[in-house]
Structure 1
Amino acid sequence: MIRQTIAAALLASLLGAGCSFSPVYSDGSPINAMSLAFNLGSPSSRIEQIIYEDLSFRFATSTAPKTPKLTVIASTTSRTIAMATNGPVSDPYRATVTATATATYEGKVIFEARRSASADYTASGQVLADNSAAIDAQERAAKAVAESLRLAIFAQFPTHVLTAN
């Protein structure tokens, strides 16, 4: 009985040795997103606010003088998607958000990327519903652009730590 208990404990410890304690939903990247610190610019539109907000959740923010400044300029467009229809249906549209992110450090550009993302929506002729659908599509596209910019930043600075040191 004692041998079985010891064998079970030994087996459990060997199985547990291969485990680690890390967040289940982490992206597994080798660097911590919080090791990248930026002084974020100010948004001038709702779309830029969504992008800045998403980036502020992903990176550390700092106003220290030696922290790189990250600015984002975003624009949005909507257009009709040309599709053949067989009767009275809702009109399909596509909202596209394009953003350019620029990081400067001591007056020099150290990073610049331009990303675009689109999201589809339909318009039925009801003004309130059409406006809500367009805003929702723009916000979804803005979040996709923010994610793409985050990945571009990680690609540019895979091992660098940008802090106020």
Structure 2
Amino acid sequence: MVLLGHIQARRFTLQKPGTSAACIMLDIDFTADIQAIKAGKVFATKTLTSDDKGITTSGICNGPTNELLLKFEARSFWYIAFRQIPHKGESVGQYRGLQFVPTEIFGETVGVSTQEIFYDPLPVYQMNIYDSYVCATKYQTPYSSVQPTAGDFSFHVNVTIFSVQSQGFYIKNDQFGPAEHC
């Protein structure tokens, strides 16, 4: 655990293939509230947190796009993708999303066994690819669905980030670079 401000964040790291050097580092404290809605009413709620046990990491580190996936139990993933922005010098966009299979987290009663994909409609932009991004201010974002759900259920996702420090490129000695603040 790493202390950012007054909030504890959990560290997640992805190594460059074939090395022990970090290509993505993420210190984060967050919750993702997933609601199953039926006939306009909340049928069930599931909360994923950065403190959940059993979270595993995977991802890719291959140049203009690096991506870190946090895999929760029950086939749920929260991800952050770092993308170099063409024609913007050394700028980076951070894109976040959540994927889940409703029957895996709510049970068979929801009857939806396809992957649901939601994304944060407000990406973070950094001016310098060598910097980390830091925000110790709590903010909540309703994620948007990629596709409508078929059947009787719809799903809502709200993600609250209490604190975050992230870097997706040019990490040296497993340390964050200079910080760009929110």
TM-score using structure 2 length: 0.34
Structure showing the higher helix proportion among its residues: 1
Larger radius of gyration: 1
